[in-house]
């Protein structure tokens, strides 16, 4: 080691550096930026279909850009009939993908980790979850909706990921993280 | 060299074939290698003979009447390394001989309390024994025992050090002379350092360390390795630690081989695992961690020249409290209102989602050469690869896919020239070039929080240290850094044009590619940073010294401050960077009056910082998305002022009892808005009393109390939001701070003889002795859960 040559060491360092700089600049010309463009977990569309015989009411929420709801649309196809029981079915989609991805299937498959919650400002409106997960707890993709007296108000639908199950039926006490929260203006006539 | 051997060969021939000529003279001159000064009174002896000589006032010596032949000369001088040289005498000979005055360069660094990185800087350090106490904890935990240093936590295993309220990109972290680049921009990104690999960790307060960068607005953390003695030796140590809280621990082993030639090698490895930690009342579900670290060093430690190569690998996997994964602001309100986290399950070692998985490779190679009568030149190349993956709770196929997947590659080449031939004036200068590349790895199914970018840097610095007399020194320095960042990022077209008006501010960044609602841009920024420092130190009688420092530092915005744009789940907030953010410039003043004495010592260190264009992340409004309402946190720039005082005291009460205490007071102001600065540490103080009985196996018992007061000076960023389910506004209290807390710890240790020359050290500690429930303001998960409850810790350290 007495004969250790400092200039050799410096040369080695220099070669290492140059090769690294060269290698890194080679790997640099990847242009995969455009691949990053899609937000795959996005829920763009929430459709709540209420059916009672031939009477069908659709509540449709759409926000194709994700992010702020400034450009979102809420479409309610008509009013509900008083003192009637409807069958409710929820459908969540990501329409930025083609064909649109049906997210309801994922929620159903992971039913024990998800639950929908419903809340309405119309006192007489009751919504009961009719489907269950593997543990026998409600999910809420399928519901039974009973209207009472006429009135107007809002209906809020919340999808929670990893809520406490079973729970007391309110989203506030179920915890978890909110994957979707949509409010429609509805009327019962 | 060849010529030398040839000579020796010829001489040998000559001496064996010719008759002995014994009337030759050997003369010479002895000088100091370092500054070529004459060495008077050096003694020279021809080995195995009774011939002696001494150098005179001109450094000259003379041996007369010696026979031709090959001799070994032993040269000795007080304060110099004894030198042996071989010489062949065939005729009258004159030889210049140099001696080393600077023994410490070759020997083990004996860490004294007053060993400073720079003589005039204000700093505090942790030595190996103190570092060993934190073998199973993080760098941030270890440093927060120093006054003026606190930590910004995410849970209890992700701990970021904070100096005088400043953290992340405002602190430089220098690991074995390599500046760490590990995506330190995020509040929840802890430095990837295994403290077990280090010998000494120094915190330099203020911005007076230009050697490493111009942007040390908060200060610098210097992690140093041990310098080994030049001798043949093989030694090592193993330290294992077990903790009741988290039911886990750590095992660290290292082995060192050194040679008399100056060669050395060290191998170190560390494994750490913990399960769910526990507060006094419940388990913190999903709070465990797993960490594997290893480092390897090899080098040649000569006086005139040497080299070293170092490689370290850190692999960390941190579970993040499951209850902290929330959706929108209503979930946050629920979490704040519920005193207990929503998920509290039984103990488990499982690391589920959300979690962070990080690997960090660091490699460096360094060589130095000392130039006679001038100084020392070093060249260093280093390379780092940091891969950060953050996993959230996701649905379906994306379940095992990280939401953040970034790879940061950094490599730097730097030179350092120390001109130290003069005792009064020492100069240090160097240049640096660095290339950095960030790759937002495709396939996460999200828009990357930090875009792809390339960054180029070049810098040069010069510092001078002038010793006016034996007790007064001045230091001054200047540094310039150039940096350029070329990024590639997709923006939401609406944000680009309407929200931020970038289409008018930065039309040059547009590429013309618009893909649906997204616009592809290439932002490019160039910064020129200047920094300067001035230091003064003076020693007085009674071990008292005074330090005065001024530092000017400037920092370019980091990529998150410029580009971040997205949802942060654990904080339930949308974080936005702004392209309009400019660099921040800080003026730092710090004074330190110190008495370095075991019987009664103190450090009183007031400081004042004024930061022009301080970049902060604050809530600015609310955005409602499909997931519900989120507060939007935006980076903005204000003028800030931080001032305070750190006080440390140590007092020997009696032969066996010692007292130590410190207090840190700090006030941070947002001068632009005339309110307090966000996330500033509150007043804290530590008192400890220790009992030592050296003759009884070096028994030490220490009782420590740490009290952190409530932070009453905080900006009020609370807001109201509409809760769709309750159909009413709810109040979101994100600003109010948790109450004061006071914790007691006990540490005991004893050393036993083991094997022939080894030793065994046993330690038993209790943290949070009274199992106090508390929350810490600077823990980002304080909305969700309490801090840790009582912990029993057992450590066994074996030296061999």
Q: Before B354, cis peptide (omega within 30)?
A: yes
User: At residue B184, does pLDDT exceed 90?
Assistant: no
> What is the DSSP-derived secondary structure letter of residue A28?
T
**Residues B532, B459: Cα–Cα separation, whole Å:** 13
Predicted confidence band of residue A7 (pLDDT cuts 50, 70, 90): low
Buried b (16+ CB within 10 A) or exposed e, B521-553: bbbebebebebbbbbbbbbeeeeebebbbbbbb
Classified as helix, coil or strand, B502 is helix
Residue A115 near residue A173, CB atoms below 8 Å: no
Q: How would residue A10 be classed by pLDDT, with cut points 50, 70 and 90?
A: low
Q: Does A1 touch chain B (CB under 8 A)?
A: yes
CA distances from B390 to B213, B273, B384, B387, B442 (A): 29, 19, 19, 10, 14
pLDDT exceeds cutoff 70 at A1: no
Nearest to A162 by CA among A122, A102, A89, A111: A111
**CB contact B327 to A (< 8 Å):** yes
Its ipTM equals 0.78
Alpha-carbon distance B438 to B259, whole Å?
41
Task: List all residues of chain B from 740 to 779 with a beta carbon under 8 Å from chain A.
Answer: none
Which band of pLDDT confidence, cut at 50, 70 and 90, is reported for residue A8?
A: low
What is the pLDDT, as a whole number, of residue B97? Answer: 86
- How far CA B26 is from CA of B36, B44, B53, B734, in Å, comes to 21, 11, 10, 84
Percent of chain B surpassing pLDDT 90 = 59
The Cα-based distances of B228 to B113, B232, B235, B260 in angstroms read 19, 10, 11, 11
Q: Is the pLDDT of residue A37 over 70?
A: no
The separation between the first and the last C-alpha atoms of chain A, rounded to the nearest angstrom, is: 96
User: Measured between CB atoms, does B451 come within 8 Å of chain A?
Assistant: yes
Instruction: Give B459 to chain A, closest Cα distance, Å.
Output: 17
Contact residues, A window 103-132, toward B, CB-based 8 Å cutoff: 103, 106-107, 109-110, 114, 117, 119, 121
- The two most distant CA atoms of chain A are separated, in Å, by 99
Residues 484-513 of chain B whose Cβ lies under 8 A from any Cβ of chain A:
488-490, 492, 494-495, 513
Mean pLDDT score, B445-460: 91
**Joined tokens for residue B723:** 């809760």
Over range A38-46, report the average pLDDT.
80
What is the three-state SS of B4-42?
Answer: HHHHHHHHHHHHHHCCCCCCEEEEEEEEECCCCCECCCC
When pLDDT is averaged across residues B149-154 and rounded to a whole number, the result is: 93
Question: Which positions 48-77 of A are in contact with B (Cβ < 8 Å)?
Answer: 61, 63-69, 71-72
Residues 6+ apart with CB under 8 A from B575: B449, B560, B564, B565, B566, B567, B568, B617, B633, B634
Rounded Cα–Cα distance for residues B152 and B131 (Å): 20
Angstroms from A128 CA to nearest CA on chain B: 16
Name residue B660's beta-bridge partners. Answer: B650, B688
**Which residue(s) pair with B665 in the sheet?**
B645
Cross-chain Cβ contact A35/B442 below 8 Å: yes
pLDDT recorded at residue B626? 86
Chain B residues in contact with A3 by the CB 8 A cut-off are 1
Structure token pair of residue B629: 């309402």
Task: Mark yes or no for CB contact A110/B395 under 8 Å.
Answer: yes
CA distance B324 to chain A (A): 9
* Domains of chain A by start residue, with CATH: 45-188 (2.60.40.1080)
pLDDT of residue A177: 85
Stretch 348-367 of chain B: residues touching chain A, C-beta under 8 Å: 365, 367
Name the pLDDT band for B420 (thresholds 50, 70, 90): confident
Residue B277 has pLDDT above 90, yes or no: yes
Q: Taking CA atoms, what residue in A is nearest to B408? A: A24
A32 pLDDT tier (thresholds 50, 70, 90): very low
Least CA distance to B489: which residue of chain A? A33
| Contacts for B396 with CB less than 8 Å, ≥ 6 apart | A103, A106, A109, A110
Q: Does A11 touch chain B (CB under 8 A)?
A: no
Rounded-to-integer distance, Cα B97 and Cα B105, Å: 19
Looking up tokens 């979102």 gives A72
Give dist(CA B396, CA B379) in Å, integer: 51
CB contact under 8 A, B331 and A117: no
Residue B793, pLDDT score: 96
pLDDT in tens, B292-342: 999 999 999 888 899 999 999 999 999 999 888 887 888 888 888 888 898
CA distance B74 to B83: 6
Inspect the interface and report whether the beta carbons of A176 and B724 lie closer than 8 Å.
no
Inter-residue contact A107 to A114 (CB < 8 Å): yes
End-to-end CA distance of chain B: 40
Task: Kindly report, residue by residue over B387-417, the tens digit of the pLDDT.
Answer: 999 998 887 788 889 988 999 999 999 999 9
Q: Where are the beta strands (DSSP E) in B219-324?
A: 219-224, 233-243, 248-258, 263-274, 289-301, 305-319
Does A95 have pLDDT greater than 70?
A: yes
Q: Do B626 and A172 make contact, defined as CB atoms within 8 angstroms?
A: no
More confident site: A149 or A8:
A149
B445's tokens: 């199914």
Contact B367 A6 (CB under 8 A): yes
Do A162 and B325 meet the contact criterion of CB atoms below 8 Å apart? Answer: yes
- Chain A residue with Cα closest to B379: A10
In whole angstroms, give the CA distance from residue B721 to residue A79. Answer: 29
CA distance A50 to B737: 47
Give the mutation candidate from A6, A109, A169 for the B interface (greatest B CB count, under 10 A): A6
Instruction: Please report residues of B whose CB lies closer than 8 A to that of A181.
Output: 327-328, 330, 626-628, 724
Partner A, chain B 392-431, Cβ-Cβ below 8 Å = 393-398, 409, 411, 413
A12-22 mean pLDDT: 50
**pLDDT tens column, B635-688:** 999 999 999 999 999 999 999 999 999 999 999 999 999 999 999 999 999 999
For B748-757, the CB contacts below 8 A with 24+ separation are B748/B699, B748/B700, B748/B701, B748/B702, B749/B698, B749/B699, B749/B700, B750/B696, B750/B697, B750/B698, B750/B699, B750/B700, B751/B697, B751/B698, B752/B697, B754/B798, B754/B800, B755/B800, B757/B800
The CA-atom distances, in angstroms, between B672 and each of B565, B585, B596, B612 are: 25, 15, 40, 10
- Rg of chain B over Cα atoms, rounded to whole angstroms, equals 30
Mean pLDDT score of chain B: 89
Per the prediction, chain A carries an average pLDDT of: 82
Closest residue of chain A to B370, computed from CA coordinates:
A6
B446 to A34: CB separation less than 8 angstroms, yes or no: no
Cα→Cα distances A167→A68, A127, A128, B336, Å: 30, 16, 14, 19
Query: If you average pLDDT over residues B773-778, what whole number do you get?
Result: 96
Contact pairs from chain A to chain B, CB under 8 Å: 182
* Percent above pLDDT 70 for chain B: 94
Asked if residue B396 lies in contact with residue B438, where contact means CB atoms within 8 angstroms, the answer is no
The strand ranges marked E within A44-176 are 45-52, 55-62, 73-76, 85-94, 101-102, 114-120, 126-129, 142-146, 151-161
Q: How confident is the model at residue A25 (pLDDT cuts 50, 70, 90)?
A: very low
pLDDT of residue B65: 85
Mean pLDDT over residues B37-54, rounded? 85
Locate B42 and state its tokens: 């050096």
Q: Which residues contact B337 (CB under 8 A, 6 or more apart)?
A: none
Res B18: pLDDT:
43
What pLDDT score was predicted for residue B249? Answer: 95
pLDDT bin (cut points 50, 70, 90) of residue B469 is confident
pLDDT in tens, B209-257: 789 998 899 999 999 998 888 888 999 999 999 999 999 999 999 999 9
- pLDDT digit string, tens, across residues B510-540: 998 998 888 999 999 999 999 999 999 999 9
Q: Which residues pair with B597 in a beta bridge?
A: none
């Amino acid at each position: 080691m007495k004969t250790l040559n400092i200039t050799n060491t410096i040369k080695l360092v220099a070669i290492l550096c140059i090769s690294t700089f060269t290698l890194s600049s080679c790997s640099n010309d990847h242009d995969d930026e455009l691949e990053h463009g899609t937000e795959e977990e996005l829920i763009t569309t929430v459709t709540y279909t209420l059916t009672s015989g031939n009477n069908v009411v659709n509540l449709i929420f759409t926000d194709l850009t994700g992010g702020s709801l400034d450009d979102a649309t809420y479409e309610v196809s008509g009013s509900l009939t008083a003192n009637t029981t409807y069958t409710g079915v929820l459908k969540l989609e990501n329409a930025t993908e083609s064909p649109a991805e049906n997210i309801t299937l994922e929620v159903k498959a992971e039913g024990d980790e998800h639950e929908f919650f419903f809340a309405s400002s119309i006192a007489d409106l009751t919504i009961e979850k009719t489907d269950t997960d593997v543990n026998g707890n409600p999910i809420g993709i399928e519901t039974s909706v009973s209207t009472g007296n006429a009135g107007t108000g809002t209906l809020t639908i919340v999808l929670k990921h990893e809520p406490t199950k079973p729970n007391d039926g309110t989203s506030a006490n179920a915890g978890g993280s909110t994957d979707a929260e949509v409010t429609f203006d509805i009327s019962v006539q | 060299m060849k010529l030398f051997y040839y000579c020796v060969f010829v001489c040998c021939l000559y001496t064996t074939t010719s008759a002995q000529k014994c009337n030759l003279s050997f003369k010479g001159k002895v000088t100091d290698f370092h500054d070529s000064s004459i060495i008077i009174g050096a003694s020279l002896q021809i080995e195995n003979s009774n011939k002696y000589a001494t150098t005179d006032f001109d450094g000259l010596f003379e041996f007369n009447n010696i026979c031709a032949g090959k001799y070994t000369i032993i040269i000795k001088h007080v304060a110099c390394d004894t030198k042996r040289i071989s010489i062949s005498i065939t005729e009258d000979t004159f030889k210049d001989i140099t001696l080393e005055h600077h023994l410490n360069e070759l020997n083990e660094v004996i860490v004294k309390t007053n060993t400073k990185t720079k003589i005039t800087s204000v700093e505090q350090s942790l030595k190996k024994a103190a570092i060993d106490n934190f073998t199973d904890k993080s760098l941030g935990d270890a440093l927060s025992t120093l006054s003026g240093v606190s930590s910004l936590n995410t849970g209890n295993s992700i701990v970021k050090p904070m100096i005088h309220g400043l953290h992340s990109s405002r602190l430089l972290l220098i690991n074995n002379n390599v500046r760490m680049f590990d995506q330190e921009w995020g509040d929840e990104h802890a430095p990837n350092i295994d403290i077990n690999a280090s010998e000494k960790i120094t915190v330099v307060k203020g911005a007076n360390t230009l050697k490493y960068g111009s942007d040390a607005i908060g200060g610098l953390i210097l992690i140093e390795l041990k310098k080994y003695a030049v001798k043949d030796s093989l030694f090592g140590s193993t330290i294992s630690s077990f903790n009741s809280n988290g039911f886990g621990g750590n095992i660290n082993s290292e082995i060192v081989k050194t040679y008399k030639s100056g060669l050395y090698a060290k191998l170190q490895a560390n494994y750490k695992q913990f399960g769910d930690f526990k507060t006094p009342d419940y388990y913190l579900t999903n709070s465990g961690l797993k960490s594997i670290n290893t480092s390897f060093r090899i080098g040649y430690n000569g006086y005139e020249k040497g080299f070293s190569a170092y490689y370290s690998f850190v692999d960390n996997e941190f579970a993040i409290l499951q209850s902290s994964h929330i959706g929108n602001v209503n979930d946050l309100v629920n979490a704040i209102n519920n005193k207990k986290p929503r998920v509290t399950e039984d103990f488990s070692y499982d690391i589920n989602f959300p979690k962070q998985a990080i690997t960090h490779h660091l490699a460096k190679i360094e060589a130095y050469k000392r130039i006679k009568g001038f100084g020392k030149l070093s060249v260093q190349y280093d390379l780092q690869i940091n891969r950060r993956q953050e996993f959230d709770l996701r649905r379906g196929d994306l379940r095992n896919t990280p939401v953040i997947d970034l790879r940061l590659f950094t490599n730097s080449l730097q030179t350092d020239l120390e001109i130290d031939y003069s005792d009064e004036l020492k100069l240090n200068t160097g240049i640096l070039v660095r290339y950095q590349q960030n790759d937002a790895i495709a396939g996460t199914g999200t828009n990357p929080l930090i875009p792809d970018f390339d960054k180029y840097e070049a810098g040069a610095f010069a510092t001078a240290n002038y010793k006016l007399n034996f007790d007064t020194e001045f230091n001054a320095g200047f540094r310039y850094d150039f940096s350029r960042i070329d990024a590639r990022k997709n923006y939401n077209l609406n944000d680009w044009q309407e929200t931020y008006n970038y289409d008018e501010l930065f039309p040059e960044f547009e590429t013309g590619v618009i893909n649906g609602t997204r616009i592809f841009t290439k932002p490019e920024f160039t910064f020129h940073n200047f920094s300067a420092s001035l230091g003064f130190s003076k020693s007085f009688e009674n071990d008292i010294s005074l330090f005065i420092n001024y530092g000017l530092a400037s920092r370019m915005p980091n990529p998150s401050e410029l580009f971040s744009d997205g949802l942060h789940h654990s904080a339930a907030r949308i974080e936005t960077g702004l392209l309009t953010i400019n660099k921040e410039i800080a003026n730092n003043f710090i004074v330190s009056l110190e008495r370095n004495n075991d019987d009664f010592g103190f450090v009183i260190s007031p400081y004042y910082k004024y930061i022009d264009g301080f970049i902060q992340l604050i809530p600015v409004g609310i955005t409602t998305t499909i997931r519900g309402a989120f507060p939007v946190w935006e980076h903005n720039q204000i003028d800030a002022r931080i001032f305070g005082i750190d006080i440390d005291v140590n007092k020997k009460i009696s032969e066996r009892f010692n007292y130590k205490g410190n207090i840190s007071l700090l006030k941070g102001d947002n001068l632009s808005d005339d309110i307090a600065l966000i996330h500033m540490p509150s007043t804290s103080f530590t008192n400890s009393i220790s009992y030592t009985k050296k003759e009884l196996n070096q028994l030490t018992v220490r009782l420590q109390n740490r009290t952190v007061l409530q932070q009453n000076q905080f900006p009020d960023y609370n807001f109201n939001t509409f809760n769709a389910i309750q159909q009413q506004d709810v109040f979101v209290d994100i600003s109010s701070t948790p109450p004061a807390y006071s914790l007691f710890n006990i540490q005991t240790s004893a050393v036993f003889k083991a094997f022939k020359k080894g030793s065994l050290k046993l330690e038993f500690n209790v943290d949070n002795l009274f199992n106090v429930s508390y929350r810490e303001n600077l823990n980002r998960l304080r909305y969700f859960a309490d801090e840790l409850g009582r912990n029993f810790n057992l450590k066994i350290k074996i030296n061999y």
